[in-house]
Amino acid sequence: MRMRRKKNLDGRIDACEGYLLTLVSEDKNFETAVENKDYLDFTELFGNDNPVYLEIGCGKGQFACEIAKQNPDFNYLAVEKVGNVIVAAAEHAQREEIPNVRFVKCAAEYLPCFIEDHSIEGIYLNFSCPFPKKAYTTHRLTNERFLKIYKQILKPGAEIHQKTDNMHFFEYSIEEFTKCGFALKNISLDLHNSDFEGNIVTEYESKFVAEGLPIYRLEAYLKEE
């Protein structure tokens, strides 16, 4: 079922323009689009030079807003491809006047157009769509083609933190991370019944936990060459 476009979406986007950027590439083919670079200036965007973390597929921004509030000395850029959804995230940040979070409406495929190589401190992948059908494997945000992008934009030694409720997607992600040269640590097969401290619950996570589903979590980092 297609999501109905919310009324007055353009007006809502304009009303929170300080928090929401819409990045559109002229080129609809992301493989050729990435040849054209138009990097975001993080210093201008956040008004400081603090480290920048990225969340990809942020939904309505519950996680990004909370982690930004808890860590005022870091900046958070949260990316989401659906306009109806990300506008709610930007409205949340604006309502709470959170200074160190910004939202970008953009598909992850285009990140290398807008984000300079090796400029990101860490990436959060929270409850990414598992795309269970084989035909959509390449849409999974831990597919090799995305991991190559993350390698390009992450600083050396940076980490990717992934959470999901989907065991098959988790197993798939472990295989992809490993294939692409990432090492894994702090793997949990039941995060909410583990001794992990400081978990920030996302919107989807609270629904899955209420249904009694276990939450899987891992940290991936690049091994030294």
Interacting residue with ligand SAM among 46, 103, 127, 216 (CB under 6 A): 127
Residue with Cβ nearer ligand SAM (107 or 209)? 107
- For residues 41 and 38, what is the distance between their CA atoms, to the nearest angstrom? 9
**Given candidates 82, 183, 187, 189, which one binds ligand SAM under the rule CB under 6 A?**
82
Q: Is 201 in the site for ligand SAM (CB under 6 A)?
A: no
CA distance 55 to 36: 23
Query: Tokens 């200036």 belong to which residue?
Result: 41
Site string for ligand SAM, 38-67 (x = CB under 6 A): ------------------xxxx--------
Task: Answer yes or no: are the C-beta atoms of 86 and 136 closer than 8 Å.
Answer: no
Q: Considering only 2-10, 35-43, 164-172, 196-204, which stretch makes contact with ligand SAM by CB under 6 A?
A: 196-204
CA angle 154, 64, 27 (to 5 degrees): 55
Integer Cα distance of 145 and 138 in angstroms: 7
**Chain centroid offset of residue 43 CA:** 20
CB of 40 to ligand SAM, least distance (A): 16
> Is position 184 an interface residue for ligand SAM (rule: CB under 6 A)?
no
* Residue among 129, 191, 209, 213 that touches ligand SAM (CB under 6 A): 129
- CB-wise, 150 or 204, nearer to ligand SAM? 204
Q: Collapse the DSSP code of 20 into the 3-class scheme (helix H, G, I; strand E, B; otherwise coil) and give the result.
A: strand
Q: Are strands 154-164 and 216-222 parallel, antiparallel or unpaired?
A: antiparallel
Comparing CA positions, the residue from 165, 172, 147 lying closest to residue 201 is: 165
Shortest distance, position 122 Cβ to ligand SAM, whole Å: 15
Which of the stretches 10-18, 39-47, 89-97, 201-209 binds ligand SAM when contact is defined by CB under 6 A? Answer: 201-209
Q: Which is nearer to ligand SAM, 82 or 189 (CB)?
A: 82
**For residues 208 and 215, is the Cβ–Cβ distance under 8 A?**
yes
Query: 């993350």: which residue's tokens?
Result: 150
Is-contact 141 57, C-beta < 8 A? yes
Q: Of the ranges 11-19, 91-99, 126-134, 212-220, which one interacts with ligand SAM (CB under 6 A)?
A: 126-134
Residues contributing to the site for ligand SAM (CB under 6 A): 56-59, 79-82, 85, 107-109, 126-129, 141, 202-205
